[in-house]
């Protein structure tokens, strides 16, 4: 009795066959480096969802003007951290923001021999190789904005101070 071509192809998919095991191992080995790998920029983008809500010097310079009402200022900058009054009982709003950026990148290589069911070794000689490197960068910045209002609750003056270290 002759074996049909269909039967031969199906036997190659038999999980007990050596060629099927080798193919599966090769597939897993080839796709393993592709899983879970993101660059530092991709990690930063994934966790930095508030970038559009930041209080910046540019926002203050561009959007805050003398004569604005308190409601207009709050619409642009949000609620102040501190509300106080000066010696003439006029309101003073203080925005005090502190931000820290920490970026960490690490990379690792681990090579361990794989013993197949046939007794052969795939992946090198006996013993394993482990290597890893990492780097961390941190920067801090502060921004203080002081907005002074007049008796009619309109912006009389404003000042800001920014640092980065």
Q: Which two tokens stand for residue 129?
A: 């190789």
- Is 35 a residue whose pLDDT tops 70? no
The answer to whether residues 85 and 121 belong to one domain is yes
Which stretches of 26-128 are assigned E, i.e. beta strand? Answer: 82-85, 91-111, 114-115, 121-122
Q: Is residue 147 within 8 Å of residue 156, measured between CB atoms? A: no
Same domain, 12 and 65: no
Does the structure show a pLDDT above 80 at 10?
Answer: no
What average pLDDT score do residues 21-39 get? 61
> Do residue 76 and residue 134 come from a single domain?
yes
CA atoms within 13 A on the CB side of 20: 10
Averaged confidence pLDDT in the chain: 78
Task: Name the residue range of residue 96's domain.
Answer: 39-164
Instruction: Average the pLDDT over each of 40-44, 56-60, 65-69, 156-160 and give the range with the smallest value.
Output: 40-44
pLDDT at 152: 96
Q: Are residues 32 and 73 in the same domain?
A: no
Give the up-direction half-sphere exposure of residue 53: CA atoms within 13 A in the CB hemisphere: 6
Q: Are residues 106 and 117 in the same domain?
A: yes
Tally of domains in the chain: 2
Residue 145: closest CA among 94, 107, 89:
94
Residues 26 and 72 in one domain: no
Residue 2 sits in the same domain as residue 68: no
Kindly report, residue by residue over 118-132, the tens digit of the pLDDT: 555 555 545 567 788
Same domain assignment for residues 80 and 8: no
Tokens 């681990």 -> residue: 110
| DSSP, res 79 | S
What is the C-alpha separation between 102 and 106, in angstroms, rounded?
A: 13
Whether residue 67 is found in the same domain as residue 88:
yes
pLDDT tens across 53-105, in order?
Answer: 568 999 999 999 999 999 999 999 999 999 999 999 999 999 999 999 888 88
Query: Are residues 13 and 62 part of one domain?
Result: no
Mean pLDDT confidence for 8-32: 59
């Amino acid at each position: 009795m002759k074996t049909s071509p269909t039967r031969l192809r199906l036997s190659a998919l038999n999980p007990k066959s050596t060629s099927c095991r080798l193919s599966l191992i090769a597939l897993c080995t080839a796709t393993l480096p592709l899983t879970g790998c993101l660059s530092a920029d991709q990690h930063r983008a994934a966790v930095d969802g508030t970038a559009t809500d930041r209080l910046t010097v540019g926002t203050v310079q561009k959007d805050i003007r003398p004569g604005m009402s308190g409601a207009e200022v709050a619409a642009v900058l949000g609620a102040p951290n501190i509300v106080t009054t000066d010696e003439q009982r006029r309101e003073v709003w203080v925005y005090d923001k502190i931000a820290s950026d920490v970026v960490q990148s690490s990379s690792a290589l681990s090579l361990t021999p794989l013993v197949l069911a046939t007794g052969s070794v795939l992946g090198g000689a006996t013993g394993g190789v482990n290597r890893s490197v990492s780097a961390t960068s941190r920067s801090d910045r502060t921004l203080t904005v002081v907005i002074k209002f007049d008796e009619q609750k309109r912006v009389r003056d404003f000042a800001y101070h920014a640092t980065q270290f």
